[in-house]
Structure 1
Amino acid sequence: MEHDTSLITTIAAGFGLALILGFIAERLKIPALVGYLLAGIAMGPSTPGFVADVDIASQLSEIGVMLLMFGVGLHFSLDDLLAVKRIALPGAVVQMGLATGLGMLIASWWGWDFGTGLVFGLSLSCASTVVLLKALESRGILETMNGRIAVGWLVVEDLATVLILVLLPSFAGILGGTVAPTEETVPLWRTIGQTLLEVSAFIALMLIGGRRILPWLLWQVASIGSRELFTLSVIAAAISVAYSAAALFNVSFALGAFFAGMVMRESEFSHRAAQESLPLRDAFSVLFFVSVGMLFDPQILMEKPMHVLSVVAIIIVGKSIAAMGLVLTFRYPLNTALVVAASLAQIGEFSFILAGLGMSLGLLSSEGMDLVLAGALISIALNPFVFAAVNPIINWVLQRSELARRLEHREDPFAELPLTTERKYLEGQVVLVGYGRVGRRIARELDKRKIPYVVAEQNRELVEDLRKKGVAAVSGNAADPAVLIQAHIAGAAMLVIATPETLNVRQIAEIARTLNSDIEIVLRTHSEDESQFLQKEKIGTVFFGEEELAKGMTNHILQRFAP
């Protein structure tokens, strides 16, 4: 009896080739995602040798899309977005509009119609979350202000792209795409209205019912104590909600999975859910990129090299210049502008999803898909080098340009304490560097005991909000002497470094000691090695998170058994 093994063959070949080429890519300091795409190209019908089952790969990629979007939802933090909303929201929207316009302009030059150009431009406008997070983490700047702005910017792009994915099918007919015969007689306004109504109903159901049911479900399964059942419940919830959203509300799998992750984040087990589902998400996301690579025809590189160069120029040059200009317009320093520009100088998973939807709706040709894939491959491969060039460019420009120096050290209305600041904040106060989760708790206790303090925080929007509440705060990096001077470190009694960043701790401490030799320094660290190093350097009193947690638990236990 013969068995059809095309599914097994496709998965085995996909994982095997992705492993080999992903490993080689990482060795060459290129994101492994490039290797996964190359594995798909090698298995695709456009290259000689083994050809995998495209239909099966397509279905596997749908699961990959669901799990990718589920992971995005699990990590989506509205608080993180709101912290940088004033720059991320308008910046991302305007930058996507400019990139889309450039894509439409070049498509019109090539003779493509309006609808094709629109989908093509939109596909070039959204950067890859996977590539961005990996780039920021590898450089240790994910938790910095620059990293938060870049991530917030990309979250807005992701949300905008999700909205486009929802609405695009409704506009397919008017944009020149293919529509079902029964839909041709339905007015556009009714189709759009029905789509928005279905999406609104789904979102309402998830926010009202889902945010109660899914966390409750996780709690019930977790109480059994079975790791397998917990992992199964997480994956089942993600895929079931995504499928139900498509079947009952005509909502895309991507949106359904995104909301499943977002409401599951409400659970106290959200961190465990993310951790347990990560291996399966990673595996299927690999298959997603492999299946995308199978759609690519390498001939496009030889047949239309100028088209490919134009696409790469829009992604790396056009988007970067637009992002940099927007960040500078919001009066952020030059280094922030360059980091955000480098972060967005690539495209990835959302571009593939959007281009694939465009092809299914008859709005994008296979040539357009090939150009999007070529742009993604080249921009992702070049992105590490773009990031590596940021610091040398900043140093080179600052040495040679007065304008660059002015852009780097912008006049910031929040970089100085107001003249009306009470005297109690200027002498014998605590200078609190960082106003994150730890900083807020420290400030809350200081408020209760009426101990004066001045906050030094890089997030200008947060400083503005603090000042509205009557809190003395200055904007800027505490590693800059001017920031500590504005916080009146010379008259302070204590410096508390509550920021999770440890790169500039020694520099901040040295500046503080120079300006105030008697100041007491208290700081935090996440690493045991860092804790031992900082204690050996005698920089100040060091608090290591896990060690303090262990002390607190031990004290509680000893009190229980005290004679």
Structure 2
Amino acid sequence: MNSGFTDILLLLAIAVVLVWAFRRVKLPAILAYLTAGIIAGPDVMAWIADPDEYHFVAELGVVLLLFSLGLEFSLPKMIAMRAHVFGLGAGQVFLCTAAFAGLGMLFVSDWSAAFIIGCTLALSSTAVVIKQLGESSQLTSRKGQMTVAVLLFQDIAVVPMLIVIPLLASNGEVSLWESLGYALLKGTGVVLVLMAIGKWVLPHVFREIAKLRTDELFVLATLLVALVAGGMTHLFGLSMALGAFLAGMMLGESKYKHQLEADIRPFRDILMGLFFITVGMQLDLTVFIANIHWIILIVLAVGLIKLVVVRLLAGAMHERAEDAWGSGLMLFQMGEFGFVLSSLALTFGLLEPQVASVLVGVGVFGMALTPLAIQQCKPIVGRILGAQEAEQQSSVPTPQDEKSRVLILGFGRVGQTIARFLTNEGIDYLAIDHDPKRVQEAVAGGSKVFFGNAIRRDILRAVHADEAELIIISFADDERALDVLKAIRNVNEHAEIIVRSRDDVRLQQMMNAGATQVVPDTLEASLMLVSQILSRSGIPIRRILSRLDQARRSHYGEMHGFYPGETTDMDPEKLDRLQFLHAVALPENAFGCGKKLVDLALDDLNLRIKSVRRGEQEFVEVHGDFTLQADDVVLLAGGPRAIEAGESYLLNG
């Protein structure tokens, strides 16, 4: 068997096992890929002797990642972000480069080497940060957009850095400013060409492709556009990722945006995995272990300086403290372009091999910590804010012995809608919300809302929750709603409590905890849709309202359970709480044939029989004396495991 094929096979095998293991313990897949690269690299198993052989293919993952990011950022949006890209981004690169170069002079005597160290550490990881922002749904948040703006400027700043390094080695033989000016001219030209093609050519191309309704052609065209755009910018000395981003940005305004993103996602994710594996392969374990104390210290120092620089710059731009700290935290690591700069400097003899190896160790270690830092961004920023947040909250109105007949807990969109209808009917209400900015905005608009956490008993006492007649829990966070529900029932046993829920997964738990009525978003949306359909089908409005009222009074009893499909969320944490429907056909020799339901005692398995179909006849309400026969189709309702057990019992006993 070809040794190259064997190497790839082993690499895929270790990647699959590690990703599975890391995801089982809720660790990011990026850490698994980095670990796979370290194991497969030259210092451990040496399956891949030369990581550079795979680096170009792996870099295509970053190209596709930036293309999909470009789809999220249209040209008007980028123009609106120009202050962040060229203000916050430029400030971060220049200040951090100067700071790290100054610190680098303490360890290396040559100013050229110190400058390269400064450039290398000033850059952050576009690949890791954007991937994690997307997975944690923070890409469109304010701090996410600030972070993307800085990363975009860093990608632009890489170009002059790559030009400067060979010039430093030439000892002044070539004019620095002439080279930079020429590069700027080429870069501007290729960007304008790409933007023109993206705006006036590509939409027509994809329109013609879409008319053919051939998925393969659409996928091929998408990949071709992303790679050609990256290739063009690379040809003119710019980053491939920047070209792909520009192409995506131009297509982000087209109606094919979502289809394009869906088409390249599988290729992007696989190649991104390969990219992180190649990053792991570059780590020199001997140097890493010998200098682990220095590497940890450098990662912490670099992260702290970037955090402070971004916070100060964003503060000067009047950004919220929470967003400024969050953006700085996300950018704390050294990026993949740092590897390119250090490798180039090593080639030209501007860096010592030991220093370059330490920089690679700093980069890999920082990247490994980044997913955890982004996942825990909010609590970390909360601790950093500390006294600032307490001071901010002290300026927010808090309940001081306030009383009202109706209490609304949560003043988001649903809570505000409820409040408007109550106001229109002249019903007095009082609302509590734990978002200080929302409370300030609402109070300024004349709403009767106070700051506070509804789970705290002192807050509940301050609003006289023990005397309220009607309490509405309006936020769609089921776990928090359960905690608040229990806290309310400890102080008020008689109030009617209406709880909003995302779905019916925790409906019974909430009813047991004391809810008067649970309103699941998904089921209520279904009822509203049904009411519109019945109304347009000529059913009298009185009968429709009666049907809806009956469904609500039975706590949506007839609506529980659904047929699962390939796209059904099978999260192990939710699985036990889901209610599925499953049809079981009874053959002649089935155990359940000829037996009464009372004898089968399916209730002991936490199962209900929704109906039994016998030929053309359907029995909707079946009782204990109902006898099952051969060829009956029994519709079971219950949890996934209960349904499996019930089917086995009906068929085999």
Pick closer, same or farther for the CA change 1:506–1:176 going to 2, 3 Å. same
Picking from 508, 529, 536, the partner of 2:505 is 529
Pick closer, same or farther for the CA change 1:230–1:460 going to 2, 3 Å. farther
Q: Per-residue deviation at 1:160? A: 1.1
**8 A Cα contact 2:408 2:472, kept in partner:** yes
Identify the structure with the greater helix proportion: 1
How is 1:250-289 mapped onto 2 (pairs within 5 angstroms)? Answer: 251-262=238-249, 264-266=251-253, 270=257, 273-289=260-276
Residue by residue over 1:508-562, the C-alpha shift from the partner in whole angstroms, topping out at 9 and shown as x without a partner, is 445667589646535241x441345335545354443433343344344434443
Residue by residue over 1:454-477, the C-alpha shift from the partner in whole angstroms, topping out at 9 and shown as x without a partner, is 776555555556666666665665
Picking from 336, 341, 350, the partner of 1:352 is 336
Aligned partners of 2:404, 2:211: CA distance in 1, in Å?
Answer: 53
Residue in 1 that maps onto 2:390: 409
Residue in 1 that maps onto 2:65: 68
Q: Per-residue deviation at 1:165? A: 1.7
User: What's the secondary structure of 2:478's corresponding residue?
Assistant: coil
Pick closer, same or farther for the CA change 1:358–1:544 going to 2, 3 Å. farther
User: What's the secondary structure of 1:521's corresponding residue?
Assistant: strand
**8 A Cα contact 1:454 1:473, kept in partner:** yes
Note if 1:194 corresponds to 2:185. yes
Give the CA RMSD over aligned residues. 5.9
Q: Per-residue deviation at 1:288? A: 0.6
User: What's the secondary structure of 2:498's corresponding residue?
Assistant: strand
Pick closer, same or farther for the CA change 1:236–1:322 going to 2, 3 Å. same
Picking from 520, 538, 543, the partner of 1:544 is 520
Q: Per-residue deviation at 1:287? A: 0.8
**8 A Cα contact 2:315 2:324, kept in partner:** no
Residue by residue over 1:185-240, the C-alpha shift from the partner in whole angstroms, topping out at 9 and shown as x without a partner, is 75367347536734763685488558xx55x8777766766554554454444334
Residue in 2 that maps onto 1:117: 117
Q: Per-residue deviation at 1:352? A: 1.2
**8 A Cα contact 1:460 1:475, kept in partner:** yes
Aligned partners of 1:177, 1:274: CA distance in 2, in Å?
Answer: 40
Note if 1:291 corresponds to 2:282. no
**8 A Cα contact 2:71 2:252, kept in partner:** yes
How is 1:369-518 mapped onto 2 (pairs within 5 angstroms)? Answer: 370-379=357-366, 409-412=390-393, 415-416=396-397, 431=408, 433-435=410-412, 460-461=436-437, 477-479=453-455, 497-509=473-485, 514=491, 518=495
TM-score, length of structure 2 as denominator length: 0.60
Aligned partners of 2:62, 2:54: CA distance in 1, in Å?
Answer: 12
Q: Per-residue deviation at 1:323? A: 8.4
Aligned partners of 2:122, 2:467: CA distance in 1, in Å?
Answer: 54
**Aligned-partner residue type, residue 35 of structure 1:** A
**Aligned-partner residue type, residue 548 of structure 1:** E
Picking from 231, 234, 239, the partner of 1:243 is 231
**8 A Cα contact 1:479 1:511, kept in partner:** yes
**8 A Cα contact 2:85 2:152, kept in partner:** no
User: What's the secondary structure of 2:294's corresponding residue?
Assistant: helix
Residue in 2 that maps onto 1:422: none
Q: Per-residue deviation at 1:61? A: 1.7
Deviates more, 1:267-276 or 1:351-360: 267-276
Aligned partners of 1:153, 1:511: CA distance in 2, in Å?
Answer: 34
Residue by residue over 1:28-62, the C-alpha shift from the partner in whole angstroms, topping out at 9 and shown as x without a partner, is 76543233223333444555643355444121122
Pick closer, same or farther for the CA change 1:227–1:306 going to 2, 3 Å. same
Q: Per-residue deviation at 1:291? A: 1.9
Picking from 288, 293, 300, the partner of 1:301 is 288
Aligned partners of 1:431, 1:194: CA distance in 2, in Å?
Answer: 60
Pick closer, same or farther for the CA change 1:176–1:241 going to 2, 3 Å. closer
**8 A Cα contact 1:34 1:377, kept in partner:** no
**8 A Cα contact 2:477 2:501, kept in partner:** no
Q: Name the structure, 1 or 2, with higher relative contact order (CA <8 Å, separation 6+).
A: 1
Aligned partners of 1:23, 1:17: CA distance in 2, in Å?
Answer: 10
Q: Per-residue deviation at 1:505? A: 1.7
**8 A Cα contact 2:486 2:513, kept in partner:** no
Q: Per-residue deviation at 1:286? A: 0.8
**8 A Cα contact 1:246 1:253, kept in partner:** yes
Q: How many residues were matched structurally?
A: 528
TM-score, length of structure 1 as denominator length: 0.68
Aligned partners of 2:300, 2:156: CA distance in 1, in Å?
Answer: 29
For structure 1, the 5+ residue unaligned runs are: 398-402, 420-424
**8 A Cα contact 2:34 2:279, kept in partner:** yes
Residue in 2 that maps onto 1:33: 30
Pick closer, same or farther for the CA change 1:530–1:299 going to 2, 3 Å. same
**8 A Cα contact 1:493 1:519, kept in partner:** yes
Pick closer, same or farther for the CA change 1:68–1:519 going to 2, 3 Å. same
User: What's the secondary structure of 1:109's corresponding residue?
Assistant: coil
User: What's the secondary structure of 2:505's corresponding residue?
Assistant: helix
User: What's the secondary structure of 2:181's corresponding residue?
Assistant: helix
Deviates more, 1:277-286 or 1:356-365: 356-365
**Aligned-partner residue type, residue 48 of structure 2:** V
Pick closer, same or farther for the CA change 1:342–1:175 going to 2, 3 Å. closer
Q: Per-residue deviation at 1:290? A: 1.6
Picking from 133, 146, 150, the partner of 1:160 is 150
Q: Per-residue deviation at 1:356? A: 2.0
Residue by residue over 1:385-411, the C-alpha shift from the partner in whole angstroms, topping out at 9 and shown as x without a partner, is 88999999999x9xxxxx998566334
Residue by residue over 1:468-506, the C-alpha shift from the partner in whole angstroms, topping out at 9 and shown as x without a partner, is 666666566554567789999899887665544333223
**8 A Cα contact 1:458 1:477, kept in partner:** yes
Identity of aligned residues (%): 20
**8 A Cα contact 2:504 2:520, kept in partner:** yes
Larger radius of gyration: 2
Q: Per-residue deviation at 1:21? A: 3.8
Q: Per-residue deviation at 1:123? A: 3.5
**Aligned-partner residue type, residue 333 of structure 2:** I
**Aligned-partner residue type, residue 410 of structure 2:** V
Residue by residue over 1:94-140, the C-alpha shift from the partner in whole angstroms, topping out at 9 and shown as x without a partner, is 88888666643442221153421222321468894268559xx7xxx
Residue by residue over 1:53-80, the C-alpha shift from the partner in whole angstroms, topping out at 9 and shown as x without a partner, is 5444121122111122234445669999
Note if 1:129 corresponds to 2:129. yes
Q: Per-residue deviation at 1:254? A: 1.4
Aligned partners of 2:492, 2:454: CA distance in 1, in Å?
Answer: 13
